Chains A and B, each alone.
Chain A
Amino acid sequence: MATKEEILEKLKEAVVEYEEDDSREAAQEALDSPDLMTPMEAVMDGLAAGMEEVGRLYDTHEYFVPEVLMCADALYAGLDILRPHISKEDAKMKAQVVIGSIQGDVHDIGKNLVKMMFDVAGWEVHDLGRDVPLEQFVEKQLETDSEVVAMSAMMTTTMLGMKKVIQMIKEKNPDCLIMLGGAPVTRDVANLFGADGYAESAGNAVSEGIKMISRLREFQAGMKSEG
């Protein structure tokens, strides 16, 4: 019988080598071994760890966006099996996020990669899609009382719209955290807005999106200690 390390390695490997079938198989193996690990461990230390390696490969120009997208598919193949078995308690939080690409922006590769990070972390994700009118972010945040609003803007055009959404949300709900593209989580609106002035290509979003795994882990740790 496989050890915990072997199963986690298999999950990681499946993501890095973009093998969807292997990912499903290893996820099932993890589920079948409740004595060795929880489903959440399999996600975080297997699938997510694999995606972190993918981020490294992207940064060193070994992988490019086509590979990253295929790795993401492999991650979801495993995640779809593991996620239904992650208890709310095991996820250790019940956070929600509203996510979308802002009006004027029809790109969503970056947004989808960031969404993946929230999915991995077990958050409830309200995906508004792309080319989303500014008010919809505000409406959805108020409706769901989500802790985070994550907006992606790939083009200059839409950067300026973000400023407006931030103002609208902060007026009504000053505690809501706002993430822009791949910017670090912070309550400082000015810093947030200064995070990235001009990300024309999907490349920046890919790199930043992947790096968000560790930021999300830190963020979750922070929320746990606050709560």
Chain B
Amino acid sequence: MAELTSKERVQKLFNREAIDRMPCFSGMGTVVIQAIREMGARFAKVHTDPELMAESALKSAELFGLDGVVVPYDMATVAEAWGRGLTLYEDSDDILYPTVPNKWPALEDVDIPDNFMAMARLPVVDKAFEIVKKNGLAVGAWVLGPFTLAGQVIELDILLKGAKKKKDQVEAFLGKLTDATITQAKHYESLGVDYITVREMGSGTDLLSPRMWKTLIQPNLIKVFEALSIPKVNHICGSTDMIVEMMNECGADAISVDQKNTLADSREKLGNDVLLLGNFDPYGMLCKEETTPAEVEATIKKCIDDGVDAVWPGCDLWPDVKQENMEAYVRTVKEYGKKASPAVGRM
């Protein structure tokens, strides 16, 4: 049996063609502290330098044998390009992701620059894609969904209360952000990435009712996915049991959910033709002091038995992974993932 390259394995998975084994990859930030240490770099530095960003992604994949690389690692790139500032926490010894310090005070103040993809660190990310693409691994890009992006640039409570009290205004605002999300996603598509994950992470039913999700989130996600022609993943974290069927109506090639989703039920609701990705807790499994490799193995096996087509972490990998737990995760995906999954056969 011929062994596929990492890139082929991921591409075939998205095409639902038979593969040799389940690829071990993610659609979200996948950088580990072991790689940063080996580079002699500091975490705060990898977000602003394309070489460090690319190298840390590639080295993380190489150290643990992952099939894909994903950049960037923080959610502030677009908001920063829109003039909302950036906090890098360069003086902190802890691992802190960059954040956005200044939100627009009101919906009326929002002013999105035309050529934002050429501003702030977005060209840094482009350069990092250029570097990681030269490797044989699958390359994943991600963008925030319109609602989550909105939460980066405007106070969430304005948005949430506005969704009830100023529905038209909030809908018009989200329409603008949908255009921005499409601009960014299409830009990454033009750079030749292999797949793209749209992370509408703040929209689970911990926050919004299924009814509000249908009127406020779904129409915009449909527009985003319609605009893209490469493999695309609809990712939402938090509670998704009540909206997983609506997620599947958005037109993505795959659905990704986190550990709060009852995956076996979702598989049953969606049937065996839908690509389903998920759903282990990256912090709890890979970083938590008490979690043993045996527990990691059991959790990964459960994800596969519940019916995922590829095991994805529920969110970004938290960089401070335990070596032996990370190894157990990758090993189990590769070994236990030799059998066919519901939507993807084996060679």
> A11 CA to B209 CA in the complex, in Å?
26
**A64 at interface, CB cutoff 8 A:** yes
Q: Tell whether A198 pairs with B281 under 8 Å between CB atoms, given A106-B101, A161-B94.
A: yes
**B97 at interface, CB cutoff 8 A:** yes
> A190 CA to B201 CA in the complex, in Å?
30
A200 touches B315 (CB 8 A): yes
**B204 at interface, CB cutoff 8 A:** yes
**Is chain B's interface secondary structure helix, strand, loop, or mixed overall?**
loop
**B108 at interface, CB cutoff 8 A:** no
> A131 CA to B89 CA in the complex, in Å?
10
B160 touches A65 (CB 8 A): yes
B94 touches A204 (CB 8 A): no
**A202 at interface, CB cutoff 8 A:** yes
**A53 at interface, CB cutoff 8 A:** no
> Which of A36-44, A66-74, A78-86, A169-177 lies on the face that meets chain B?
A66-74
How near does chain B come to A166, taking the closest CB pair, in angstroms?
14
Residue of B whose beta carbon sits closest to that of A18: B164
Report which of A67, A104, A161, A200 forms a contact with B258, defined as CB distance below 8 A. A200
B208 touches A64 (CB 8 A): yes
**A184 at interface, CB cutoff 8 A:** no
> A201 CA to B238 CA in the complex, in Å?
6
Q: B288: which A residues are within 8 A, CB to CB?
A: 197
> A10 CA to B163 CA in the complex, in Å?
26
A64 touches B92 (CB 8 A): no
**B212 at interface, CB cutoff 8 A:** yes
Could you tell me how many residues of chain A have their Cβ less than 8 Å away from some Cβ of chain B? 29
How near does chain A come to B79, taking the closest CB pair, in angstroms?
10
Residue of A whose beta carbon sits closest to that of B99: A106
**A156 at interface, CB cutoff 8 A:** yes
Q: Tell whether A65 pairs with B206 under 8 Å between CB atoms, given A197-B283, A198-B281, A198-B283.
A: yes
Q: B320: which A residues are within 8 A, CB to CB?
A: 160
B:64-100 near A, CB below 8 Å: 87, 89, 92, 94-97, 99-100
A203 touches B89 (CB 8 A): no
Residue of A whose beta carbon sits closest to that of B103: A106
How near does chain A come to B5, taking the closest CB pair, in angstroms?
32
> A197 CA to B287 CA in the complex, in Å?
10
> A200 CA to B239 CA in the complex, in Å?
10
Residue of A whose beta carbon sits closest to that of B93: A164
Residue of B whose beta carbon sits closest to that of A207: B206
Q: Tell whether A104 pairs with B164 under 8 Å between CB atoms, given A61-B205, A202-B156.
A: no
Indicate the member of A103, A201, A206 with the most B CB atoms within 10 Å: A201
> A65 CA to B204 CA in the complex, in Å?
11
**A144 at interface, CB cutoff 8 A:** no
How near does chain B come to A162, taking the closest CB pair, in angstroms?
11
B96 touches A103 (CB 8 A): yes
B208 touches A66 (CB 8 A): yes
Q: A157: which B residues are within 8 A, CB to CB?
A: 94-97, 318
**A148 at interface, CB cutoff 8 A:** no
**A185 at interface, CB cutoff 8 A:** no
List the 9 closest A-B pairs by CB distance, nearest first: A203-B206, A201-B238, A104-B96, A201-B206, A66-B160, A64-B209, A156-B283, A65-B207, A106-B99
List 6 contacting pairs A-B, 8 Å CB cutoff, sorted by A: A160-B320, A198-B281, A198-B284, A200-B315, A202-B202, A203-B204
